Amino acid sequence: MTWGVIVFPGSNDDRDTRHVLAEVIGAEVRMLWHKDTDLKGVDAVVLPGGFSYGDYLRAGAIARISPVMEEVARFANAGGPVLGICNGFQVLCEAGLLPGALIRNSGLRFVCRNEAIEVANTATAFTASCSGGEVLRIPVKHGCGCYVLEKNKLEELEGRGGVVFRYADTAPNGSVNNIAGVCNERGNVVGLMPHPEHAVDPALGLVDGRILFESATAWAVKGVAA
């Protein structure tokens, strides 16, 4: 399986993500620059964390109009697995590939700590190998991670199982309904604020993030078999 990792000016977790995919999962990885107009035949795409374009204007607002995002949208609409982590989640929301928006944390402070994240939906590309209600320990580090959505759309999101992850305890950023991650209707596009790429190494005391990347591999294999 070949993964593509999008690199925007200001991305700072692209190399961490590449390390996980190449050295831990053992997959082939292609780094995709924000000006690329070809995804180079990858089977899954990750939009990593960071501060794309310095978070000027609004987090993710400039990155969404990068040339590569047209290809990401085309890939996602065709059913390809796409994962947006932190800033990548913000970009996916700004691009309309996921519902809602991420705004400044309710306490107006940057949060950086390990969090307990509950898996609320196992029918997605990145949670297919998880158990419903499973709690993962994954770190968060963001200043604009408060997830918001209009009441009627929130009810629709909840009703269709669009919430993929919730903070097991009180959301550290004020996110509505303790939402930590969501998906599109097909379940192939997932965005979350926690950083699974920083929870794969026993030396760091956290390994729960690995299952998200393994799930996508299983999802892709199942899709080929179907």
- Is 112 considered catalytic here? no
Identified catalytic residue from 34, 142, 195, 198: 195
- Is 86 considered catalytic here? yes
What are the pLDDT digits (tens) for 37-47? Answer: 999 999 999 99
Identified catalytic residue from 94, 115, 118, 197: 197
- Is 197 considered catalytic here? yes
* CATH classification (class only), 2-225: alpha beta
226 pLDDT above the threshold of 60:
no
Question: What is the per-residue pLDDT for 7?
Answer: 97
Q: How many CB atoms lie within 10 A of CB 155?
A: 11
Average predicted confidence (pLDDT) for the chain:
94
138 pLDDT above the threshold of 60:
yes
Burial classification of residue 156, based on how many CB atoms lie within 10 Å of its CB (0-12 exposed, 13-18 middle, 19 or more buried)? middle
Whole-angstrom distance, CA of residue 212 vs CA of residue 56:
30
Mean pLDDT of 17-24: 96
CA-based nearest residue to 138, from 156, 114, 155, 122: 114
Identified catalytic residue from 71, 86, 115, 142: 86
Q: pTM for this structure?
A: 0.95
225 pLDDT above the threshold of 80:
no
What are the pLDDT digits (tens) for 60-92? Answer: 899 999 999 999 999 999 999 999 999 999 999
Burial classification of residue 159, based on how many CB atoms lie within 10 Å of its CB (0-12 exposed, 13-18 middle, 19 or more buried)? exposed
CA-based nearest residue to 61, from 75, 70, 51: 51
Comparing 221 with 5, which gets the higher pLDDT? 5
Work out the percent of the chain whose per-residue pLDDT is above 70.
97
